[in-house]
Structures are given as structure tokens and as C-alpha cells.
Amino acid sequence: MNTNLQPRHDAPLPKGILVVDDHELLRLGLRTLVQSHAQGNGQAVTVFEAHSLQEALAMFGKNATAIQLVLLDLHLPDAHGLSGLRAFKSQYPDAHVIVLSGSSDPGLQRDALAMGARAYLTKSGDLDQVVHYIASMDLPSLHKAPNPSPQEQAFPTASATGGAPLAMGRSVRTTTGEWVQLTVRQAQVLDWILIGWSNRQIADHAKLSEGTVKNHVSTLLLTLGARSRAQLISQLR
């Protein structure tokens, strides 16, 4: 997984994580990394594991108040493609689910995000980056989505993935076809760029200086391989 995210190594992880994958070594690797990260920060994290969709649904139902984040593989013995994500979100619509897939197909990613996945991460890179990405997320309280403010309702976010709202810290494809991770603030600024806001509008809305916004925009252009704001918008819409 290619990424330009520079995680804080002291960033806390969710208190409970459910890893759903039929490969025992992957579950073991993620559990080890999560617990190592947590222990290094003096934190306790419970890692639940499931090897099938049905096991995951039952486990989540029994431990819903303890599981803050679900890492869901798309290819399980009893679910393939988006059927597992669809079933999970149908039964537990407020669950925070990250898709962890072996496929980097942009269409599959777009559909997963539109279906409610918080993020779409691939298994092609270092799993340690997955753990640090999780730590960078800004999760609401357990399974309760925050009520949008009137200002947020008036200005819905646009998408860099063909129509699905951008979650915090979303992965985005560059002009060269690589996937990069954006920080929480970069993802927000990208949303506002895509709905046509000027630097001044973004600065006023986010309560930032215009210079800070310009820096974010320049970083996004460089990271995503775009020469101009107009190219960036054309590339991602």
C-alpha cells in the first residue's frame, strides 16, 4: 500500500478492533502489530477475530459496545466481493468498517465507499501502515454517527471517488495510478476544492489562515501529481 501519510507514533488506536479475514497469518500479523502499537503507547486494545462473515456478524452482535472498528476482507468463505460489506452494513449500519482487500480495482473501491465503508485499504503493502492509518482516523463515539451541524448540512462534501463521500484520511489515486493516503485535514481540503470553493472560502469555513490553506492545496497538487487546481478537479471527478 503506497502512502505518504506520516503517522503520529503516539496516536491512540480504537479500544476494540474486529479483524475479519480467513487467512490466519494476516489476522495474526494485524493482531501483533495492533497490540505492539498499543503497548508502546500504554494503551489496552482488544482484538477480536473472525474467519467468516457469519462468525463476524455474530461476534459483533455480542460485542458491539466494545468493537469500535471492523477490518473486513472482501473475500471470505461465505462472502465474495461486496456482499459481505453489504450484509454487515445492513445488519449494523452504524458500525465503522474499513475494507481490507487484495484488489486495488478503483471501481470496487468506489462502490465500497458508496456502500458506507470508512476507507478502502489494500493488502499489497506493509501491514504496519494499516495500523498507523487506523491510529490516524478520527472515529466518532461508539457506533453513533455525529449529527451534522446546519453548516455541514448546507455544504455536503464532494467526492474524489466518483460520488461517494470522502471519509477522513481517505486513500486517493494519483495521476500515475498509485494510491496515497491523505491526512484528515488534507481530505477535508480536497473535499472543499472539489465542490469549487476558493482558498478564502475554505479558510473561512475551516477557521484557518489563507496561507495555511494554500500550503495544503500545494501539498495536494504535489502528492496527487496535478499541475493545477483545475487539473486536480478534472482528475478526481
Question: Can you give the pLDDT at residue 181?
Answer: 72
Which tens digits make up the pLDDT trace of 209-219? 888 888 888 88
CA dihedral sign, ordered 17, 169, 160, 200: positive
∠ Cα 19 76 86 (to 5°): 85
Question: Can you give the pLDDT at residue 8?
Answer: 41
Question: Can you give the pLDDT at residue 160?
Answer: 35
Kindly list the domain boundaries of the chain, sorted by start residue: 16-136, 152-236
The answer to whether residue 117 scores a pLDDT higher than 70 is yes
CATH fold of 16-136, please? Rossmann fold (3.40.50)
H helices present in 41-164, as ranges: 53-62, 83-91, 106-114, 127-136, 150-154
Joined grid coordinates for residue 136: 490516524
12 or 47: which carries more pLDDT confidence?
Answer: 47
Which tens digits make up the pLDDT trace of 138-185? 665 433 333 333 333 222 333 333 333 333 456 777 767 777 777 778
The answer to whether residue 126 scores a pLDDT higher than 90 is no
Which tens digits make up the pLDDT trace of 76-102? 999 988 999 999 999 999 899 999 888
∠ Cα 117 27 118 (to 5°): 10
CATH fold of 152-236, please? Arc Repressor Mutant, subunit A (1.10.10)
Say what the pTM is.
0.58
CA nearest to 85, candidates 67, 102, 70: 70
